[in-house]
Structure formats: C-alpha cells, structure tokens
Amino acid sequence: MNISKEQLDELNAIVTVDIAKEDYSEKVDKILKDYRKSANIPGFRKGHVPMGLVKKQYGKAVLVDEVNKLLQDALNKYLTEEKLDVLGNPLPKEQDNFDWDADNYSFEFELGLAPKFEVKLNGKKAITHYKIIANDEMVDNQIKTIQKQYGKLVSKEIAEKDDLIAGTFVNEEKEINNATTVSLEKIKGKRNIDKFVGAKVGDVITLKTKGLFSDNNDLISALKISQDDASDLDIEVTFTVTEINKQELADLDQELFDKLYGPGNVKTVTDLKDKIKQDAERQFEQQSDQQLLNAITENVLENTQFDLPVEFLQKWIQTTGEQPLTEDEAKDEYEKSEKGLRYQLIEGKIINDNNLQVTFEELKDFAKNLIKGQMAQFGQNSPEEKELEDIAARILSNQDEVKRISEQLMSQKLLNYYKENAKLKTKEVSFDEFIKEVYK
C-alpha cells in the first residue's frame, strides 16, 4: 500500500491511496474459506461447497467490504501520523472508469485543510466590561416587594388606589368569564383607575380592554385568553367586584430579617439593604460576563482574518447530510454556518495555545461547586464531601450532563483568559442602563 499527498494550495490537497492485491488477498481468502464452512447452498453438503461457487456468490461483496475497511483505516492513520488538520471529512473523488475486477486499486480523496492564523484578541478600541450596580431605587423596590410578600391582606369595604380587588371579568360574545384579582398598580390610565376607586363589593364596572393594563401579559392573565386573542383586543368587559383587600406591608424587624437570612445574619435595615445589593450584583455579574463573552467573540471574529477552503466545504455540506443538497442549498447552508466555523477554529487555537483544555478533576470540582450552589438555595449550606462526591459521580455518568457541564467550564476558562488578556474598560451602570446600552 502506498499513500501520497498532492498539495493544491494552502487550504486544499489530494490524497491518493494505492492498494495492491497483496494488501487484501489474504484477508479476503480467509473470509471466503469461513463462508465455505458455513454456507448453505442447495445441492451441496455444508462445508463441501466448491470454492469457485463461493467466490462467484460472495467474492465481490467481501472484496469491496475489505478494501473499504483497509482504505478507511489507512487514511485515518495517515491523517493522524502526518498531523493534518482537516476540516470536515475527506471526500472521495469520482472515478469514471473504476474497475473492481482489477487486482490493484487507486483511490483519491479531496482534503480541506484548516488555515494557519494568529488570533487577534485586541482591536483598536477597548471592549466595555460592564459592572452592573444595584442602585438605591432598585434596592428600595426589592424591599417593598419583600414587605408585600411577607405582609398580610386586610379586608375593606371601599376600594382605594393601592388595593387588591377580586372579581370576575365577563364578555359573553368572546366567552370570557374569569375570576381574578386585580392590583390597581397594574391598571393603566387615570380614567381606568378612577373606575375602581370607590367601588364596593357587588359593584359592576364597565371597562374597555384596549389600554386597560400596562403590560399585555396582565390582560392575558386577567381575561384568561390567548396571546393571539389579546393582540389588539378592543372590546367592552364587565368586572363584578367580589372582594376588596388592602396589602399591609410587613414590618422591617428582626423577625422578618431572620425569616429571610437566618437568625442574626441581618440586624438592621442598613444590613438588609447591603445584603440585597450584594445578592443582586452577584446575579448581575453573570449577565455582565455573558455580555462580555459575546462582545469579545464578535471582536475577535472581526479582527482575526483568514481564508477557508470554501468550495470544499460547500461540497462537503452538499454530500454528507442526511439528504443530498443542491449546490445552491449547500451554498446557503455554508453562509449560515461560516461565522460559527470561524469562531470554532479561533476558539480551538486559543484553547490549544494556552493549555485551557478541561481535565476530569477540573470537571468534577466544577460539578461539585454547581451542586453546592444548588443545595445552598434549599438551605443546605454545609454538605458533606462524600455526599458531594456521590452526587457528582452520578451526574458525570451521564454523557449529556458531562457535555453540558464541560461547555460551562470551558466558557468560564475562556472568559477568565479574556479578562486577563483582552483590552478592557470597566463601566459602572445601573441595570436599566445596562439593558438600554446592550440591547438598545
């Protein structure tokens, strides 16, 4: 057997595999002899079928199968030994006059080669790394939400602006008949709010659905209708009041602090605000990091330029899917996937050049930290090491979970690398400012 490579250019090559009769004949003969021992052919006793008949019936199929096995093994070994970094898989070239009745065979394969390039991590401008701050307004709103959550409802006779009003929305034509509770904080417009203020149990209020709630999702919930039905809905509904309650806020005292964070961990309103601020900013950090990862990905794609074996990749896409594609379909698929392929190559180079590969021990430790974080949410702050080891072992026995956690860990490693090596500028913003700047 002989294997040779013709380099067409930096990104394309042809590999030729020459297979001679002596490379496969011994294995083919052995298989055919085994077939002869077990073949059941009418007119012949088992094991006494003439070899010529066995070869005539099975010889071509066995030959093709063994040559293809030999070919694939040799090609894979060659690519590994020569350290050829290929894109996709080798594509066999069509051979019009190929003859399986010959003794010697020659096969040609097209290769698409990965480009050589240097990663350009930094462009001219520094990338913004947002530090999201929980401002006083956000902290105060969170405290108010907590007070409502741990407060109590007090029944009333007459509705006022901040009350909760239970009742039933009805529109016979649209078959709406839904009992619900309305918070007047969610009602939109003074005219609508005024219809509720002063209402008593048993009163019937007539309302227009258009512009009734500040959020369209609240309309969907209140009327129990679909999102499609809620879109541009402009009908008249009645609301029959069945109950009026005032939400009394919980006192900001030690009893509430202990319910929230455990005995003695928070002792004053100032402590509470600090704790809420810390917890919020810890959650914001995840969003900030994800935005930074996205920004650096776009930046490195823009600044790292290299060519790809486009024609080869389009042909590979055209022929290797579940269903063959036309040239135009393959071209469209390539254009959709090109950006992702480029980043895979860039990411792979960063990982290899900086030894960022994930080891099993790192994966296990990362999984244990994820488990500890989840257990802490349910009040288990000090799990035993053996318990963590057992849970991690069960999780890591699932290949889908291994893949998911490995991707998380790799993203974290890349993020840490980018933070240390990319040109960054830190900008402090509120959460609302972050949303406006990033998502516009």
The structure tokens 């379909």 sit at 329
* pLDDT > 90? residue 256: yes
Structure tokens at 166: 């239970």
Q: What is the pLDDT of residue 193?
A: 93
In the chain, what are the domain boundaries? 2-113, 152-248, 266-306+354-439
- The pLDDT, as a whole number, for residue 35 is 79
Integer-rounded Cα radius of gyration of the chain: 35
Q: How far apart are CA 417 and CA 351, in angstroms?
A: 10
How far is residue 97 CA from its own chain's centroid?
Answer: 48
152-248 under CATH 3.10.50.30, yes or no: yes
Domain spanning 2-113: which superfamily?
Trigger factor ribosome-binding domain (3.30.70.1050)
Q: Beta-carbon neighbour count of residue 121 at 10 Å?
A: 18
Q: Which of 428, 418, 368 is nearest to 393 (CA)?
A: 368
Q: Is-contact 301 349, C-beta < 8 A?
A: no
Q: Which DSSP letter does residue 279 get?
A: H
Could you tell me which residues are beta bridge partners of residue 181? 166
| Neighbour count for residue 398 (Cβ, 10 Å) | 11
Q: Is 336's pLDDT higher than 90? A: yes
> In this model, does residue 382 exceed pLDDT 80?
no
Average pLDDT over residues 118-139: 91
Which of the residue ranges 44-48, 113-117, 127-131, 333-337 would you say has the lowest mean pLDDT? 44-48
Per-residue confidence band for 229, with pLDDT thresholds at 50, 70 and 90? confident
Helix axes 360-377, 385-395, angle to 10 degrees: 110
Give the per-residue pLDDT at 49: 76
Single pTM value for the model: 0.72
Structure tokens given for 375: 């257990």
Average pLDDT over residues 382-408: 90
pLDDT of residue 230: 87
Question: Hey, how many other C-beta atoms are within 10 angstroms of the C-beta on 176?
Answer: 20
